[in-house]
Structure 1
Amino acid sequence: MDNNNLGLYLKALDSANSGIIITDNSLPDNPIIYCNKAFEKITGYSHKEIIGHNCRFLQMKDRNQPERAILKKHIEEGTESRVEIRNYKKNGDLFWNELYISPVKNENGKITNFIGVQNDITDRKKAEQDLREEKASVEKKVDERTRELQENEAFLSSIIQTVRESLLVLDPDFRVISVNSYFLKTFKVTEEETVGKVLYELGNHQWDIEALREMLIKILPTNNPVIDFEVDHDFPYIGRKLMLLNAYRIEFDGQYKDNILLAIEDITDKRDIDRRKDDFLSIASHELKTPLTTIKTLVQLLERRLDKGIDEKFKSTLHKVSVNIERLNNLINELLDTSKIHSGNIEINRQPFDINKLIHETVDNSLYNVSSSHRIEIKGKTNAIVEGDEIKISQVLNNIVSNAVKYSPGADKIEILLGNVGNFVKISVKDFGVGIDYDDKSKIFERFFRVKDVQQKFSGLGIGLYVSQEIIKMHGGTIWVESELGSGSVFSFTLPILKNEEK
């Protein structure tokens, strides 16, 4: 097929209303290697967030659907299938997917790919559900009673007053209808000075803030809330405050229709504490780096001057010292990287390099002494040339493999899987260890986050994966984990391909 025809076919697929994907059955876990624009629109994920994943990621935590078993059976048998399955968009919204899958075979009859076509049938499902709900008089009474409670002013006011966060209810003209005591206390005003007044006129116009006006004007025309909007302002009497604002349009019927709920969180002290913590990390890391470098040099000098007659126990002890110095050095480097990332000062030295060669060299040169009880197996290959920082990408692989070894003490191997998925190279590290709970997977890449169940069993600060995620982001890729408790974990990341070398 010539390039003109291929381009025409791809344009045709992109113009389709149905979501279309193609998976590569020859690669481990049958990953997605192509998706059209409709698939991105239906799921809410971008192209680079889709490529390399197995289709199951759309079910999120909803893994017990019988349709999954049906799909698995047909894929194993290499036959066509049609199911209606619950999927979830990137923002967590449920949508019903009418999914068709069909195998693609080569001239030898071997299945090389699967084509999936999906249609969002949420509206049809909702209509079916609405018909059932109309027949359920009890549910209707509950809905009516719930609406009455929501419209009850005393009920709403009690919620506002008990929240330890500044809350205001505004009418469509931004006039204050209700305010809680926490707001009055924080900004040193009275209820008489606040209720009934336009927000911008409060306290001699101290709330007439351009950023606040811009935020509120965007709310009423849409149903979208404003989340975590930062406002930095110098207030009379209380000084400069950094505030986090969240605004929601109230969609109740009746007297509260089109009102705005405005939540204000004072994060001045929190941000200052974070800044001081980052400063401490940076200073402490630099101060530790200098004596550690000296110690490392001296230990290396001792190792080079060891005579053949030296006691083996002394040699073993010196080797353990060297290994732990290197471990401490890596930890300090991660702390420095964390500080640089948070301050936006981390540097990426971009050069084209052979990713396949880098993976093998990292395993041979850096990971050979990670564990004497685990063997590291590399499966698959890629001839991809990637543009980026070799040292940083090697650091990512080191972090992931070291974690795989740490959290699989009862296993004896770690697998590294390589392959091309569309315009990306995909690297996966598979362990056979303790696994990760679903609720923790969304937090696993946060700075200093550690799973509670393993904190006592395994050492660490919870920064390696945070640093790894930021490095991969800077390279235009994505990183994610697939895991279940007791079934091990697969950490994967993708990097854009600069070009492919013919070998």
Structure 2
Amino acid sequence: MNKIEHLVIQHVHNLNNMPILAVDICGIITYANNAACQLFHVENKVLLGQHLSRFFNFLKTAQSIQSEFVEKEPNVSMEVSLPCATGEERWGLVNSQPLADDNGQILVYFFIQDISTLRKRGNLQDITDQKVHKTLLKESMERQARLAAVVSTSDDAIISKTLTGLITSWNASAERMFGYTEAEVLGKHISLIIPADRIDEEEIIIRRISKGGRIEHFETVRIGKSGQKIYVSLSISPIVDGNGMIIGASKIARDISRQKEFEEKLQRYTNNVEILNTVGKLVSESLDVKEILQIVIDASTKIIGAELGIFIYHDQNKNDEPDFAFANSGVFSELLIKEKILESNFLSSEPNWEQVARSTDLTHDNLYKDKFLVSSWFKDQSVIKSYLGVPVVSKSGKTIGRLIYGHQEEGQFMEDQEKLVIGIATQTSTALQNAKLYEKIQFLNKKKDEFVGLASHELKTPITSLVGFLQLLSMRMQTGDINKPIVDKALKQSNRLSILIDDMLNVTKIESGQLSLSYALFDLGCMVQEIIEEVQYTTHSHHIEFHSEKPSFLISADKLHLEQVLVNLLNNAIKYSPGAHQVKVYLAEYSGYAILRVQDFGMGVPVGQQEHIFSRFYRAEGINPHISGLGLGLYISKEIIDRHGGELTVESQLGEGSIFVVKIPI
């Protein structure tokens, strides 16, 4: 044992467990114990005589040794990388302290853990696990710092609580969102921000979290410090301790109030569109002014929650005379004094007749407080405070009416109600103008019908006389008289004219409701046979075939009017099939109806026109203009059959002829 080893043994304990090196002033290793050899995976003889920098990169020269250990304070500690044959990263903790002889002169350096009084000594400790642990700890602390920064700067409220609901953390966004500071809520129960009607939600949340479950994007309502409702979306996760036990819940609350407000506005808009469509459909189905007024005021009063609704319609008729109509609705409607409204010249007393007007409280509104609207609306002492008035404007820009709503509580009508009523007023304007146009058409139709009826009556007498005279003249003329064919043609044309006049008279009777039916029991089959023979006698261009399912069809009906229908159908079949030579008539019974079918093989009726041919004065397009007729025959025939409780229909294809089907109840 040399002198250096002796000094080391004298001052260092636990030689077998602690790696120890001794170096001289030049950094040459002069001593290494077994633990040091094992640390560097070399034999003792390899270490001895080597420079310390071979094993520690931070020590390159003697000067660095001098600066690192001699000139520094005792007990210097450094973490160093240790060489490893396997390439694995290893770290050591170097502790140094100077050793000197009796004269105080430094002789060697050691890496040692304990202190000696004779020489410098030092030790190396393998701290790989400690270094890894420290690195992980540092990374963990950095992650926690980053997490804390995220929590503190997040726009979402981040709150943690125990399983009993006690608040344990509260970030800055939670303060901004709910209005409570962290000091005000820590240790308080989370129910502080939960509405009373939603307190059951907390129990459900805790129950799920306690079982390890999560809650994602749960939309609900919470309450701020000022009492305002806050719509939030909650995401909640369990908090687990080091032993894996669930000890609480972490809650992220996102304020979705603006989103909810947008959704509510969108829903209100959708509802308003549906309401407008419904009201529009209702008013479009009516062509009566008073009915339209009542429908609109009933629906709109209910929709906007008014206690009173009034619709005043004021237009000029064709003589520029006032056309006034009035409708009211609501819980106060029976209290209105309509006569006083008319007597008071309300239209001129209303200050905003042609403008939209909305008042929170009429009794304090300078425009209204002295007006008839406030002072004399009702028989009793009820007072209207909230007011909404919307003009009804025609397409020409003329104000033709006003929708007025009232409520005895102030502040009841807002912008949404105003916009909705404006939309209703626009639709109503169109409906009213259509109704007025319809009234004018009805008026003109009535005048036209009166004229047609009067003219027909006036023409009927001379035509009847003319037919009679021509018949008498024809009978007295001798056979072979050159003038007889002329008289017969005049008689034929006079009969046609008489038929046209009869059609116009029948139309007048139908329109005025004066077409009466005289029911009697008769054999329909015999009647059809007789009419076919009469028509066949007057025509030589077509042969009429008759097929009956059975010999007798007893029905109760107006025989004369049914004869008129059959004559019209047969004449049409002949007239509209000039290139054919045959007409077929079928009579059968089916499901309590007598079914009469008249078939021709002529030009047919286009599909697009079939629904119109039973209209008054309608003639199918593409028909030869030389074919006479007013377009009244099928209209009259259908009216007669309809009044019998039957049906008149057509089956036709262009160029292939037509089949007219008559169904008469037996």
User: What's the TM-score once normalised by structure 2's chain length?
Assistant: 0.38
Give the number of the structure with larger relative contact order, counting CA–CA contacts within 8 Å between residues 6 or more apart.
1
Larger-gyration structure (1/2) = 2
